[in-house]
A and B are shown apart, each in its own frame.
Chain A
Amino acid sequence: MPGSAIFGRGHLALHGLVLLIVVVAEAIGIIRIPIGIAAIILLPMLYAFAMGIALNPNITRATGRVLTPTVQKFAGGMITIAITPFVAKFGTTVGPQIDAIIAAGPALLLQELGNLGTIVLAFPIAVYVLRMGRETVGAVYSIDREPNLALVAEKYGLDSPEGAGIMGVYATGTLIGTFVFAIIPVLVHATGVFDIRALAMSCGVGSGSMLAACTGGLVTAEPENKDLILGLAGASNVLTYATGLYVGLFIALPLTQWLFRKARPDLY
């Protein structure tokens, strides 16, 4: 491909750097830190992300010579490409579990509404504890990943208070989401209250890296149910692509806005 920039020096250096990070991360392997009856499970993808941040030119000036803003933008595009084989692998875990998935079908469909749990938990904290303004509406109505961001951008604009709310949570979530999803599900699992199928299918609620971290933790905690966990999580993730936008557009966003008008009429 003559004239194409994708084989430039910086781009190749990027792939080389990623390869190096990946080898180091996988060589360290999974680490379990026992805390009481539960354990915090650290996955290679977490070290890879942390090393990526440590070598990010905005943190370490030295890498800025090769990782120019153009190369960084390209790296952003590479996330989507690199996650695609992972998505394919996840799909192949769904097919063999099709009977278990059909059996859990009603739960799988209804748990999509569980995404509204963000409003139940985060709305009161934002409004009554932290006394936040209209940023609340953008911030708490969903898990704030790309499709949700697009919806707020279209309805309020990203320069509105609602837009600032979702952008803040989006950027923060990008930084800490993988860590949160590696840790929380394993701790919830350790309570022993919930069905492993429920814990697994709820892994599909967020981004691809959240899905990976969540299932990685659960599989490490319960290796004998690996196939079931992956199959249900994969099916739920596919379902979220289909329903997520509509739940946000027709239920979650109007509901959050209505709640906010009731709670803080002075701000409208």
Chain B
Amino acid sequence: MQTENLKLDIEATDERRIRVGETAILLLIACVIGTVANYVSTGVGALEAFPGMAILYVCSVVGLMLSRFLPFYLPSVAWVSLIAIVITIPGVPGADWVVEHVGKINFLSLATPALAYGGLALSAKEFAIARTSGWKIAIIAVCVMLGTYLGSVIIADLTLRLLG
């Protein structure tokens, strides 16, 4: 193992220091690419998708700002999820309208751009670590994912059976 010289610089991105203006613009770019992806996969045009995408964009920006400015810290993804959950709970004013419009956006199409960036972002170090870690680590990586998923499935399934 020659991993000693191969340290990944995972700078735990300090979300408190993210520039909101810049991120808002980059989010807009991501949403535009997402809209194109949605069009290619579902045929829903940009105009029809606009209200739904706008809702997702606003959730994202507000979540980011809450994470940045509130006195206690919660990651922005958690805020974004919570906002999106709350505005779609039946009975909350406007929930039906929100659900109708975001329903025109295919969730899979929104993951595609992130993975394209992900493939392009892989650094020489990441390739080197994966290569030098060897086949044992590759086997363990598969076992770790399989074990986590199956462990979770088995406990969830048993609990559902016991409690109906």
Query: What residues make up the interface of A, taking CB atoms closer than 8 Å to B?
Result: 1, 4, 6, 14-15, 17-19, 21-23, 25-27, 29, 43-46, 48-56, 58-59, 67, 69, 72-73, 75-96, 98, 104, 106-108, 110-122, 125-126, 130, 132, 135, 139-140, 142-144, 146, 149-150, 153, 158-159, 164-165, 167-178, 180-181, 184-185, 188, 193-195, 197-199, 201-202, 205-206, 208-210, 212-216, 230, 234, 237-238, 241-242
Contacts and interface: CB of A to CB of B under 8 A. Distances in A.
B156 A84 contact: no
Interface of B: 1, 3-4, 6-8, 10, 12-13, 21-23, 25-27, 29-31, 33-34, 36-37, 40-41, 53, 55-57, 59-60, 63-64, 75-78, 80-90, 92, 95, 98-99, 102, 105, 107-124, 126-127, 129-130, 133-134, 136-157, 159-161, 163
A180 B116 contact: no
Contacts of A56: 119-120, 122
Contacts, number: 426
A196 B75 CA distance: 29
A6 to B, nearest CB: 6
Contacts of A43: 108
A18 B150 contact: no
B143 to A, nearest CB: 4
A121 B152 contact: no
Chain B interface secondary structure, helix, strand, loop or mixed? helix
A122 B145 CA distance: 9
